Structure 1
């Protein structure tokens, strides 16, 4: 049976950062009138798109400055909970999805009501997206599937349905991470606090991370091609995660082996620029020292 509409305990939360008018219009056309919509303005929404959001009775948060993805997600969850919604369907502006996906994930979350540990969120499988490396969500060791639903160590926030009561118990996304690895750290923290994260293979949405994909010529390594600012934040936050007790040792060891290869591949792809290598290595050092927060070169 194909789901028709989400239940009235679910809202959608969208983070916008310099979206095109078409991206804003797609969200309005897809969800307005079918689901309550909260959006966070992280900066750069065109004036005519703002007017379109207001005309569609969308709840608009933020003051038009880039507060980072973690802060935006936290404010969306807080606003939805304050309006007594039980669940929030999180999206970024690139997400190609629909209310039917939210309904399908809601049914999956209902089926997980008897799961142990109790679920914190459920998300879709990553669909192929030409030109972009699809994320991979590793299975949680020692956990059995719940029917067709798979327990995963982590998954992207975009496209995920979050249980807001559980969110409040686990705590907010780390705002000092600002952007990258925010979802990964939160999911590891959820597992560490006795909750679980799940993927529904029956639903899928594509993800667009970075400007394309960098592939090693002689090694089976591929990674998103991100601007230097994003790559530096990713390296910093990943290195800091090695200090966190709730991040599994097996993941730390994997990343410790993988990060040098990523740095080398990214550096080579961008022409072996010495200043770039220095920037990347300083980012790792800042993570190891716990120097987090908003990066000085974060776009406004």
Structure 2
């Protein structure tokens, strides 16, 4: 039986101009089942296969009502997957895209609530590029923080933010066409941050709806400093290295505000130190992270050599 959260929603209640887009990479059968049960047959669903979908889950995707699968099972990175999903949605005539990753614990009701929020922002100046939920707590993980956008007033309960995660966000596809695609040479980390800063620079805005919240986490846990109020996600080394590289490259981008560059310039060395400490001051880890820093500063991006296939 399909999952229901909150009040029931019939197909006639749902916006015909909105599709769900999900990126899968080595999902569990339960994660695939959750997406199918909650969305298939209730909203059009686009799935991008970045690899590792179990055979039984693949069979469920093939049998799902109103679901289209993209990708060839090869890990092209999150940015390439999001761009393929957005382009397919535009080609199919959709105006909005509800972006999810495989961990997102959400529902059709969330998509509908964000759609109403986007409607309320129709006359905002600058017009909205996307609206997303507030991050709900998830045990053992550090929830992301979305800084408020200076100089832009709230709209009723909606809050302008510098950036927010793509997962759980409802994207206006006309704004996507204006802002441009997600940076595929970033591969995975900071893809959403860079795109949101670019959206603001190109005359579009990013919003958070505090009345709508979903759990969101990065990595496999949290690393906390012993004597400082600093916490960061604990991630595999290749992910941490890509984050360092892309953050450093962001310092070269004119559309990233100076205030954010200064904050990251102070914060990134602390993160590198915390991660290195977690890994018992391994020389291999430090060399990998410093090399990633140098790559970012030099503008050498692209798929990491140690990214999983």
Instruction: Give me the TM-score of the superposition, normalised by structure 1.
Output: 0.99
CA distance in 2, matches of 1:292, 1:78: 23
Residue 260 (str. 1) matches residue 266 (str. 2): no
The CA deviation at 1:289 is 0.1
* Whole-Å separation in 2 of the counterparts to 1:247 and 1:281: 22
Instruction: Check the 8 A contact 2:21/2:47 in 1, yes or no.
Output: yes
Aligned residues: 300
Contact 2:144 2:217 in 1 (8 A): no
Q: How does 1:79-158 map to 2 (within 5 A)?
A: 79-158=88-167
**Residue 186 (structure 2) pairs with residue 191 (structure 1):** no
Gaps of 5+ in 1: none
Q: Does 1:213 align with 2:230?
A: no
CA deviation map 1:36-68 (0-9, x unaligned): 000000000011111110101410000000000
Q: Specify the alignment match of 2:3 in structure 1.
A: none
CA contact (8 A) 1:3 1:104 kept: no
Name the residue aligned to 1:231: 240
Question: Which residue is equivalent to 2:171?
Answer: 162
What is the aligned counterpart of 1:27 among 20, 23, 35? 35
Give the ranges of 4+ consecutive aligned residues of structure 1 lying more than 4 Å apart after TM superposition: none
Using the alignment, how far apart are the partners of 2:97 and 2:62 within structure 1? 20
Determine helix, strand or coil for the equivalent of 1:146. Answer: coil
Q: Deviations over 1:187-225 (max 9, x none)?
A: 000000011000000000001210100000000000000
Query: Could you tell me which residue of structure 2 aligns to residue 288 of structure 1?
Result: 297
User: Does 2:50 correspond to 1:42?
Assistant: yes
Whether the 8 Å CA contact 1:118–1:194 is kept in 2: the answer is yes
RMSD (Å) for aligned C-alpha atoms: 1.0
Which residue number in structure 2 is paired with residue 178 of structure 1?
Answer: 187
Q: Distance in 1 between matches of 2:302 and 2:238?
A: 13
Shift of 1:2: 5.8
Contact 1:153 1:187 survives alignment (8 Å): yes
Name the SS of the counterpart of 1:257 in structure 2: helix
Question: What stretches of structure 2 of length at least 5 have no aligned partner?
Answer: 1-5
What secondary structure is seen at the aligned counterpart in 1 of 2:51? Answer: coil
The one of 268, 273, 279 aligned to 2:282: 273
